[in-house]
Amino acid sequence: MVTTHLVPPDVQDLYEVHEWRNATGVLTTSAPDEWSEILDALRAFRLYRSEITVGGGSRSRIVQRLEQPLTAASWIEKQFRTAIEIDGTSTPSPTHKVDCFKNRVALEVEWNNKDPFFDRDLNNFRLLFDLRVIDVGVIITRADHLQLIFNDLGRGPSFGNSTTHLSKLLPRLNGGGGGGCPVLVFGITNKLYVDDSAAPVAAVGGAVPSNEEEGDAD
């Protein structure tokens, strides 16, 4: 049984949707407010030509803009302080930071990292779920067919086969990389692409994107 039918049709039309262990059902029932905020962020997002051609930086404008509605709704970057205790001796064992966290929901945006980041994310979700601090994990990444757009814009080499996209995530997800943690995945599709070359969009913070080249890690 899957519960992706609970994703509204307009969102399903814009994103490729996959889940593990009925994650959509978990979100809609255990975190309805956070689910609504995720949907609002997904609906507001568009993938602009100007931001692809400029490049990324340590946190690309694309990722910042996708996360901005969540930040405005009090989602935070979060690292949990965990430890292993044996015979009264405690050894710190911190988890990786979660990009966006609120009310037992963890969300990661993987726009253009190296694909082993998917292993890190799924393992982190598994650990946090087993420690009973999250109920569900969400990953937003890109659909494979966006590579055609990147190639057309001369940016193909920056979004190579070893970077984060759906065909790198799904075998890990379906192979149980997240353990018992329910995981919901959204793949950004070409229906979100906007050719704004005639009128560049404002970047995060209100500045118009410049023409200097930056790195592409998200």
Q: What pLDDT shows up at residue 88?
A: 72
pLDDT tops 70 at residue 67 = yes
pLDDT tops 80 at residue 124 = yes
Instruction: Centre a 10 Å sphere on the Cβ of residue 165 and count the other Cβ atoms it contains.
Output: 25
Q: What pLDDT shows up at residue 60?
A: 85
pLDDT tops 70 at residue 93 = no
17 in helix, strand or coil?
Answer: strand
For residue 58, give every residue at least 6 positions away whose Cβ sits within 8 Å of its Cβ, in sequence order, or none: 215, 217
pLDDT tops 80 at residue 177 = yes
Q: What pLDDT shows up at residue 58?
A: 52
Specify the CATH number of the domain 10-79+94-194: 3.40.91.20
pLDDT tops 60 at residue 210 = no
pTM to 2 decimal places? 0.87
How confident is residue 148, by pLDDT bands cut at 50, 70 and 90? very high
Q: Rounded mean pLDDT of the chain?
A: 88
